[in-house]
């Protein structure tokens, strides 16, 4: 059993000590160091090379440099953000995730009682992070890197009508950032995204993706008509479906039961896409733990033989669980590095 070394960097020494005490109650945790400044914490990270860093979202770097960037420019290490559930901290957390932090721990207040109530979730995320790929170790390539696992026939009789559905989880905000920012302003095919995130964080994610990209990104709303050139992000704690009414596609937001422990669920989005007729279907599964998306991929392929299924390659996936489960369905068209997925979407939606 691998013992996990952790560095905690948090402005509150009282909270950091409580977190350290909780972590040390787990036999998998070996050495927990805590710091209240980024400079001291970074020196320890570089010297001791911990398995995971827990980083207060409000820690500041010199000259307002972003802490996640500062750390990852010095050493590759999985970073979990610690954030309270406020609008300001939510936005900063999403920013950190897009820069390479792989996940976050959401707290309403930094108090010992709340830590105890989230003990299981915190242990799970720290252990998961310790097994994750160090995100900044991904070296982007100019050459396309792709594996064809299933050749498919041409799109068929509806080249002008297409819909893209994307599912992602741990490490997803950064992966989505890399896809969206490389789509051109004239990219017309609508995109629906399910990113496993709690309520509140998905709105900040959509706003950030909208700022860094060339196409319009928004958090999805119940009943809105799906428009060309727009990306829709499922709101946290709600499922998102696409439905067809009077020859128009619209979004349905529901709070039905979780599926595989998730709401929003990639499978539920994919299942709804499978029901739409006379449209070219493209499904993409990015980094994440678990198997969400695999059953949905099967449903899409059963509904349309020429549907395109793309899975992120293990070379770049921070957590390879979701892409691996989709590849194992044997329905995948392409296995691609994250830096090649935007171009693939452009190519597959050309008229």
The strand order across the sheet containing 216-219 reads: 146-148, 334-336, 308-312, 280-285, 162-168, 191-195, 230-233, 216-219
Residues 6+ apart with CB under 8 A from 95: 66, 208
Best CA proximity match to 208, nearest among 131, 113, 72, 95: 95
* Catalytic residue of the set 169, 204, 265, 325: 169
In a 10 Å sphere around its CB, with 0-12 CB exposed, 13-18 middle and 19+ buried, how is residue 260 labelled? middle
Q: Give the β-pairing of 52-56 and 29-35.
A: unpaired
- Cβ contacts of 113 within 8 Å, gap of 6 or more: none
Cβ count near 345 (within 10 Å): 23
C-alpha–C-alpha distance, residues 209 and 197, integer Å: 15
Is 56 an active-site residue? no
Active-site residue, selected from the candidate residues 177, 196, 239, 262:
196
Q: Can you give the C-alpha Rg of the chain in angstroms? A: 20
- For the question of residue 292 being annotated catalytic, the response is yes
The active-site residue out of 56, 103, 271, 292 is 292
Residues 266 and 295: beta-carbon distance below 8 Å: no
Token digits for 247? 């020859």
Please say if 216 is a catalytic residue.
no
Report, as residue numbers or ranges, the catalytic residues.
Answer: 169, 196, 292
């Amino acid at each position: 059993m691998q013992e996990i070394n952790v560095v905690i960097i948090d402005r509150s020494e009282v909270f950091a000590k409580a977190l350290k005490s909780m972590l040390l109650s787990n036999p998998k945790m070996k050495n927990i160091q805590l710091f209240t400044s980024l400079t001291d914490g970074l020196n320890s990270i570089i010297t001791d090379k911990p398995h995971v860093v827990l980083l207060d979202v409000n820690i500041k770097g010199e000259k307002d440099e972003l802490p996640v960037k500062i750390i990852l420019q010095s050493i590759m290490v999985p970073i979990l953000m610690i954030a309270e559930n406020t609008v300001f901290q939510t936005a900063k957390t999403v920013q950190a995730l897009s820069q390479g932090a792989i996940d976050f721990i959401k707290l309403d207040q930094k108090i010992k009682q709340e830590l105890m109530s989230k003990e299981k979730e915190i242990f799970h995320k720290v252990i998961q992070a310790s097994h994750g790929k160090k995100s900044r170790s991904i070296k982007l390539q100019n050459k396309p890197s792709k594996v064809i696992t299933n050749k498919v026939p041409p799109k068929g009789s509806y080249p002008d009508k297409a819909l893209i559905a994307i599912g992602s989880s741990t490490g997803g905000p950064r992966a989505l950032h890399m896809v969206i920012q490389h789509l051109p302003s004239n990219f017309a095919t609508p995109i629906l995204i399910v990113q496993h995130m709690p309520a509140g964080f998905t709105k900040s994610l959509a706003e950030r993706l909208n700022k860094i990209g060339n196409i319009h990104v928004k958090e999805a709303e119940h009943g809105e008509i799906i428009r060309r050139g727009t990306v829709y992000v499922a709101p946290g704690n709600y499922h998102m479906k696409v439905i067809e009414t009077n020859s128009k596609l619209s979004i349905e937001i529901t709070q039905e039961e979780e599926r595989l422990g998730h709401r929003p669920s990639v499978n539920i989005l994919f299942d709804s896409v499978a029901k739409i007729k006379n449209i070219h279907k493209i499904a993409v599964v990015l980094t994440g733990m678990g198997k969400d998306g695999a059953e949905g991929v099967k449903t899409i392929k059963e509904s349309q033989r020429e549907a395109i299924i793309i899975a992120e390659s293990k070379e770049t996936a921070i957590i390879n669980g979701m892409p691996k489960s989709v590849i194992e369905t044997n329905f995948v068209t392409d296995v691609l590095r994250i830096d090649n997925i935007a171009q693939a979407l452009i190519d597959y939606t050309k008229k």
